[in-house]
Structure 1
Amino acid sequence: MFTGEEAFGRFFDLTTIHEEYLNLPGIKRLSYLQYLDAFDTFTPPFCNVKRADKLTDHYFGYVRQLSDYLESFMRRTRPLENLDKLFASFDEDFAKAWEDNDVKGWALEIPAPSNAPAGDIIWCPDCEKEFKNENVHKAHLTGKKHIRAAEARKARQAETGEDENDTARKGPSTMRLKERAIADREYRVKRLAAAMSQERSDTRVNVERRQGMTERERQMELDAIFAESSSTAPQGGDSDSESDGDEKIYNPLKLPLAWDGKPIPFWLYKLHGLGVEFRCEICGNYVYMGRRAFDKHFNEARHIYGLKCLGITNTTLFREITDIADAEKLWDKITRDKKKDKINEGSVVQMEDGNGNVMPEKFAKSDMDIVLMRDQ
């Protein structure tokens, strides 16, 4: 029912529709993360598609695909709600807004009459643009942009066989009906996106999080999700007499077990760095998973016994040392320093001062010098 990216209805999966969006002519190229914020915006600055270019089959197919996906996603995630009534209200609201000429981006502009007094707004139906100055409007009529827009408008009128002067008499033209169909799809996308704002926000957070992960971490997370779904799925063919304690725990990622005998969550596994290996040669190349277990093992019996096997008695000085060669080198230096200190202590000559006190020779001589200086 759901794709892997949707995570059982928690997130949107708009990757395919995003590719369709990037193939539209005249659009602003957005990343997938930016597209999640702007897929329901059909006006500048996010969507620079002109009104005439929106009447193409390519654009209509894109908007229809986006609207159908959002509607399908809502039906799959909210099966108990009366969605038909909700969608009918969308249609009623759009019909009212269309009749009132209040649909943003699709309002029908009425051209100003030819006998309008000077100073009124002058409308250019070819370029769909307003002018407040008659001289500016006259200069605009000779421009290349206006000429191209006028030729394109004539071509569209020739294609539909309608004349704008007969529109009021014949009713809505074929072009206007097509505009209404596209505007209906855009309006529904906006309403559906607003109704699922929480899923949209969660999707954006999930995409940001996954962009900071490696491909291996993404695959491990996906395997954990499927493993969780497989373990919670009902198993048929078992008798009711089977106890809960006999259930087989599915743990493909070899995650450590919690106090309840079930694997710990994958996010907790990553938080404590339990996937990082620390090897200790003194402990017989034993591998400790995670920094916490590695720091703790220096005070454990296994590590202390390995140091004693090397002839090392003072274990407190050998923290963070895991190689046998480094430990032996440090112990040799410590023993040499101890022997040197003993030799220096044995070579000290002791003397007795005038008061009968025993002290090293250098202190005794300095004391005698002080006495002689005092007598003088």
Structure 2
Amino acid sequence: MAATLLEQTRAAHEECERLERIIVKDFDQDVKGHREKLAQGQRVRRRLDELQALSTKLERIYADEDGARKEEIALLKGLDEHGFSAFYERMKEVREYHRRYPYLEVAEAPNEDEALKEVVEMSFSGDEVGGRYLDVHEHFHQYVNAKFGKQLDYLEYLTSFWEVSDISRQHRLSESYRDYLKGLLGYLESFYNRTQPLASLSKVYAKLADFEDKFEAGEVPGWSDKGALNVDGLSNGIDMTAFATVEEVEALGPEAIKESLAGLGLKTGGTLRQRAERLFLTRDTPLAELDRRHFVKGAAPAALLSPEERARQHAAALEVALLEAKVRVWSEVYSSVIEDTKGYVEKKQASTYEELVAEQEQKAEEDAAALDSDEEDEFVYNPLKLPMGWDGKPIPYWLYKLHGLNQQFTCEICGGAEYWGRRAFERHFKEWRHQNGMRALGIPNNKNFFEVTQISDARELWTSIQERELGGFKADVEEEFEDKEGNVYDRRTYEDLKRQGIL
């Protein structure tokens, strides 16, 4: 039996109240750690979206544009022309429905506590490390391989991907550059939605509310001409009035001439002489009066364009300027994340293969421990006290013996800490506890001290290394003496013989 409009309204209100209760209970939970907080935000965001969809549906029902709600209420009141016939007809339908399905059970309300344990799948790449760092490798490769880009390493790109002042106007108005900005902006917005599920993009872009007015007033940095290329007399900082002949312009060199032509939107092809002649034209002729054939397609000044082309160029310039402004906004929002990402990339580049593998293993162990944290209170039969596996159960005894987990190692430098298994023992030499212990002894923690666990042994080895490096001289052993007969002795032996009167 189809639900009536009023029944749908009641069910929607009930579902809204249920979602509100779940959200409140979710926020009452004491979550710890970046991963758990992120999962909580994703759960709440999903229920807020459901709540918003239901509220939109209720608003549409109460608006009653087709009059269906008003008609149904009138029928329930018995205000139709047939009196209570509609009411009895509805009652007959209900009885007939229950007569056909007498064994229907009342559906139980969903368990709200189970909804709080919902597992949220968070899509992050390996370099994003659960939403802690940015991963713009794809856009970095797109930038360095594009005509508007330049050759630089990934760290430099991270610190300057929002800087576009050195990109020529011709390239900034190109479609490839616009697609690159859209892709980069899409990633930055996606990263924000995934890491800040309860935040709003509209608040981030609030400072750009009057951007279009500033653009029309020529107040946007780098777009004072509003994309019209109204530049006269100067070519990328070169004063053309200082040159009297084309030969003098040729002396600037091919690269400088090509860069100047590109900055003005002029064609950069041809021989060195042709380029110099084209650039020399700007000395006495304003750009707006130059022949259109000298300009690159889409880069001619507004004065040479038709009204339709001028409007199209202005709209393209406004779109690109807005995209650049949005990317700059995200560079401010992600300032701390960018610094953390730089540190992570530098550490990753400086790490050896063994250190990277060890770090991945440690993260895998931490993730497994986080997944099994809910089952820690359950009793597990483990008479041999074997370590727990990824499934929360003791590992097999043969695996326990294979990895040597029955071997115990003690490190005095770490304050008497105990390590079970050869693998954990070797790995602890690079961990913070051992490094702090060596630092407290004033000894560098390098490969010379690998497997040295006693403080006395470490000090003796450090003293020996220092003496060997400094080339220390021991007088009692290395100083030589000669007697009357030409026999050579070390200092200690010579003095003993002399005291005895032998010499």
Report the TM-score range of the alignment, normalised by the length of the smaller protein. 0.5 to 0.7
Task: Give the corresponding residue for 2:453.
Answer: 292
SS at match of 2:206: helix
Runs of 5+ consecutive residues of structure 1 not aligned to the other structure: 113-121, 279-288, 300-318, 321-343, 349-358, 364-376
1:146 Cα deviation after fit: 5.9
The percentage of aligned residue pairs carrying the same residue is 18
> In the alignment, is residue 242 of structure 1 matched against residue 360 of structure 2?
no
1:193 Cα deviation after fit: 0.9
Aligned counterparts of 2:371 and 2:237: Cα–Cα separation in 1? 63
Aligned residue runs from structure 1 range 187-266, under 5 A? 187-234=325-372, 241-242=378-379, 248=388
1:99 Cα deviation after fit: 2.8
Task: Give the corresponding residue for 1:108.
Answer: 225
Aligned counterparts of 1:276 and 1:3: Cα–Cα separation in 2? 34
Bigger radius of gyration among the two: 1
Aligned counterparts of 2:332 and 2:341: Cα–Cα separation in 1? 14
State the one-letter code of the partner of 1:11. Y
Task: Give the corresponding residue for 1:15.
Answer: 137
Aligned counterparts of 1:277 and 1:192: Cα–Cα separation in 2? 47
Q: How many residues are matched? A: 278
2:191 pairs, out of 73, 77, 91, with 73
Task: Give the corresponding residue for 1:95.
Answer: 212
Q: Aligned in 2, Cα 1:298/1:90: closer, same or farther, shift over 3 Å? A: closer
Q: Is the 8 A contact 1:2 1:8 kept in 2?
A: yes
Q: Could you give the per-residue CA deviations for residues 286-323 of structure 1, whole angstroms, max 9, x where no partner exists?
A: xxx63334965999xxxxxxxxxxxxxxxxxxx99xxx
Aligned counterparts of 2:211 and 2:303: Cα–Cα separation in 1? 27
Task: Give the corresponding residue for 2:176.
Answer: 58
Aligned residue runs from structure 1 range 1-376, under 5 A? 1-44=123-166, 49-81=167-199, 83-108=200-225, 123-124=231-232, 143-145=277-279, 150-153=292-295, 155-156=297-298, 164=304, 167=307, 173-234=311-372, 241-242=378-379, 248=388, 267-268=431-432, 271=435, 290-293=451-454, 296=457, 362=501
Q: Aligned in 2, Cα 1:8/1:135: closer, same or farther, shift over 3 Å? A: closer
Aligned counterparts of 2:154 and 2:241: Cα–Cα separation in 1? 45
Q: Aligned in 2, Cα 1:97/1:233: closer, same or farther, shift over 3 Å? A: farther
Aligned counterparts of 1:214 and 1:277: Cα–Cα separation in 2? 18
Aligned counterparts of 1:5 and 1:256: Cα–Cα separation in 2? 35
Q: Could you give the per-residue CA deviations for residues 267-299 of structure 1, whole angstroms, max 9, x where no partner exists?
A: 427846999698xxxxxxxxxx63334965999
Q: Could you give the per-residue CA deviations for residues 6-48 of structure 1, whole angstroms, max 9, x where no partner exists?
A: 111221112221111111225332111111111111113xxxx
1:80 Cα deviation after fit: 2.4
TM-score (ref. length: structure 2): 0.44
Aligned counterparts of 2:179 and 2:228: Cα–Cα separation in 1? 31
Q: Aligned in 2, Cα 1:297/1:152: closer, same or farther, shift over 3 Å? A: closer
Q: Aligned in 2, Cα 1:152/1:226: closer, same or farther, shift over 3 Å? A: farther
Aligned counterparts of 2:237 and 2:342: Cα–Cα separation in 1? 39
1:101 Cα deviation after fit: 1.7
1:242 Cα deviation after fit: 3.1
Q: Is the 8 A contact 1:123 1:130 kept in 2?
A: no
SS at match of 1:292: coil
Q: Is the 8 A contact 1:5 1:12 kept in 2?
A: yes
TM-score (ref. length: structure 1): 0.56
Q: Which moved more, 1:145-154 or 1:100-109?
A: 145-154
Q: Aligned in 2, Cα 1:243/1:94: closer, same or farther, shift over 3 Å? A: farther
Q: Is the 8 A contact 2:128 2:134 kept in 1?
A: yes
Q: Is the 8 A contact 1:36 1:204 kept in 2?
A: yes
Aligned counterparts of 2:208 and 2:409: Cα–Cα separation in 1? 53
Q: Is the 8 A contact 1:274 1:290 kept in 2?
A: no
Q: Aligned in 2, Cα 1:130/1:155: closer, same or farther, shift over 3 Å? A: same
Q: Aligned in 2, Cα 1:239/1:198: closer, same or farther, shift over 3 Å? A: closer
Runs of 5+ consecutive residues of structure 2 not aligned to the other structure: 1-122, 250-274, 396-402, 439-443, 466-492
Q: Aligned in 2, Cα 1:94/1:227: closer, same or farther, shift over 3 Å? A: farther
Q: Is the 8 A contact 1:6 1:12 kept in 2?
A: yes
Task: Give the corresponding residue for 1:304.
Answer: none
State the one-letter code of the partner of 2:141. E
